[in-house]
Amino acid sequence: MATISASLVKELRDKTGAGMMDCKAALNETNADMEAAVDWLRKKGLAKAAKKAGRIAAEGLIGVAITPLKGAVVEVNSETDFVARNDQFQGLVQMVAQVALDVGGDVDAIKAAKVGDITIEEAINNAIATIGENMSLRRAAVLSVGKGIVSHYVHSQVSEGLGKIGVMVALETAGDVAALAPFGRQLAMHVASANPQAVESSGLDPHVVAREKDVLADKFRQQGKPENVIARIVDSGIHTFYKEVCLLEQPFIFDDKKSVGQAIKEEEGKVGGAIKVTGFVRYALGEGIERKEDDFAAEVAAAAGKS
């Protein structure tokens, strides 16, 4: 049996919103397997479907560089938020984003690219030496269109193209691109807010869909529902899931009476041509990186539970 630490219980609680004792029970039942514990809670009806942790555990900045037909987004991490407010660090992130726009989203290629006499990797190392804090280029992505526009949005912007969340959306159209630009920005803001996983259901990871179906089926199987009823419930539930995580099916944040797909159809009449979302990228600073945090209250609660 794995040791269930207070920090592990807190992590599961942050992910699911379930009570501390339920989280502890879930971890005990699953031998501290975090993913299995999330599913255990969901099957018991103790956690919300598809809720994500979202706890930011790294500092730095997201940088976005845009031209009308192409965009790049990068994440450069630092140890503290104080460094993220440093002019030298901000200039470094802007430079990295511009280089990504030229060379593409491969991190190694970006590091090897030269700006003047030095490479990006050398520029990062120089900043580390000058500022006195560790930094790293974590990831990068590039989107482009042949005809249309790459729209963007930066949330919590501290300087031009720099902030805590960066979004790009690639929209192909033969219509009026200038007329499409305001809607493109709204769509990028929607992605920042709603955090879709794919443009449409066909773009979802099959493992994610299979896992969702399994959770739904097991939850109602435990309630004693017959298999033919469970099949219908799962079919209905998976379509609800698609509306939550697929961009075109999500309620549009600027008018939640219509889906994003419906909003795009309406926009086509304004720009005089079909519009296709060919891709999007959403980077939130520090997502997926865990930073050790002391939680005295949780440690005391855990110690009390052992007594």
Sheet with 162-163, side-by-side order of all strands: 135-144, 70-78, 59-67, 162-163
User: Quick one: 7 and 110 in the same domain?
Assistant: no
At position 184, the amino acid (one-letter code) is: G
User: Quick one: 93 and 190 in the same domain?
Assistant: yes
Determine, yes or no, domain membership for 33: yes
User: Quick one: 127 and 163 in the same domain?
Assistant: yes
Predicted confidence at residue 39, as pLDDT, reads: 85
One-letter-per-residue 3-state SS of 227-257: HHHHHHHHHHHHHHHHHHHEHHHCEECCEEE
Predicted confidence at residue 83, as pLDDT, reads: 87
User: Quick one: 75 and 167 in the same domain?
Assistant: yes
Determine, yes or no, domain membership for 173: yes
At 265, list the tokens. 């159809």
User: Quick one: 117 and 4 in the same domain?
Assistant: no
**Which residues on neighbouring strands pair with residue 166, listed in sequence order?**
154, 283
At 256, list the tokens. 């939640």
Determine, yes or no, domain membership for 109: yes
Domain extent at residue 27 = 1-56+291-307
CB of 130 within 8 A of CB of 139? no
Predicted confidence at residue 50, as pLDDT, reads: 41
Model confidence, pTM? 0.75
Tens digits of pLDDT across the chain (307 residues): 678 888 888 888 877 777 788 888 999 999 999 888 888 887 777 764 444 333 333 799 999 999 999 999 999 999 888 888 899 999 999 999 999 999 999 999 999 999 999 999 999 989 888 888 889 999 999 999 999 999 999 999 999 999 999 999 999 999 999 999 999 999 999 999 999 999 999 999 999 899 888 888 888 888 888 888 888 888 888 999 999 999 999 999 999 999 999 999 999 999 999 999 999 999 999 887 765 554 545 544 554 454 4
At 126, list the tokens. 């120089």
Predicted confidence at residue 55, as pLDDT, reads: 34
d(CA 198, CA 207): 14
User: Quick one: 273 and 135 in the same domain?
Assistant: yes
Q: How many domains does the chain have?
A: 2
d(CA 42, CA 259): 27
User: Quick one: 120 and 165 in the same domain?
Assistant: yes
User: Quick one: 51 and 146 in the same domain?
Assistant: no
Determine, yes or no, domain membership for 193: yes
User: Quick one: 85 and 157 in the same domain?
Assistant: yes
Can you give the CATH number for the domain in which 157 is found?
3.30.479.20
Can you give the CATH number for the domain in which 13 is found?
1.10.8.10
Predicted confidence at residue 306, as pLDDT, reads: 46
Predicted confidence at residue 124, as pLDDT, reads: 92
| Locus of tokens 């807190």 | 10
User: Quick one: 84 and 144 in the same domain?
Assistant: yes
d(CA 101, CA 112): 14
Q: What is the DSSP string of 78-116?
A: ES-HHHHT-HHHHHHHHHHHHHHHHH-S-HHHHHH-EET
User: Quick one: 12 and 113 in the same domain?
Assistant: no
User: Quick one: 52 and 66 in the same domain?
Assistant: no
Predicted confidence at residue 290, as pLDDT, reads: 60
